[in-house]
Amino acid sequence: MNAIQISTTRIDDPVARTLVTAALADLGARYGGEGDETPVSPDEFEPPAGRFLIAWIDGAPAGCGGWRTLAEDEAAAEIKRMYTVPEWRGRGVASAVLRAIESSAREAGKTRAVLETGDRQPEAIALYRKLGYERVPNFGYYKDYPDCLSFGRPL
C-alpha cells in the first residue's frame, strides 16, 4: 500500500459529497433514518471556521473527516463526518485523517477537539480512545439520545 495522502477540500466538492453520502448510509444502517440529522452547512467547514479533509491512497479516495468551530465554545473544534471506505478500513486511514484534523484545528487556534459518536460504532470508539479521547458530557444535536457518546481531548 502506498502512503496515505491528505488533502483539504470543500465539503460540497463532488468527491467529498460521495464520501459523506456513504458515511451517512453507514450510520443509517446502524441507527436507522438518514444516518445523522445534525444540521451542517458547508460554510462551517471553510477556513477559518473549519476544514474538510480527504484521505487518498493510490489516487482513490479512502476516507474523510472535518471539523467546524463548536457553536457553544469558540476554542473547540467539533469533528464531523469521519468515514473510511470499507476496503481501506484497518489500514490507518482514520487515524491519519483524525491526526490531520487535529493539526488543522490546532493551526487555526483551537485548543480542544470534541465529537459525538454512538454506541453502535465500536470501531470508532476504539479509534478515539486509542488516540487519547476521553468521554465528555454529551453535547450537540444528539446529546439527549441514549446511544450518544461524546468524546474530547486537548489539542
Q: What CATH number was assigned to the domain covering residues 5-154?
A: 3.40.630.30
Domain boundaries, the chain: 5-154
> HSE on the CB side for 106, CA within 13 Å?
9
**Contact in structure between 113 and 131 (CB atoms under 8 Å):** no
Least confident of 7-16, 35-44, 75-84: 35-44
User: pLDDT by residue (tens digit) across 18-28?
Assistant: 999 999 999 99
* pTM summary value: 0.95
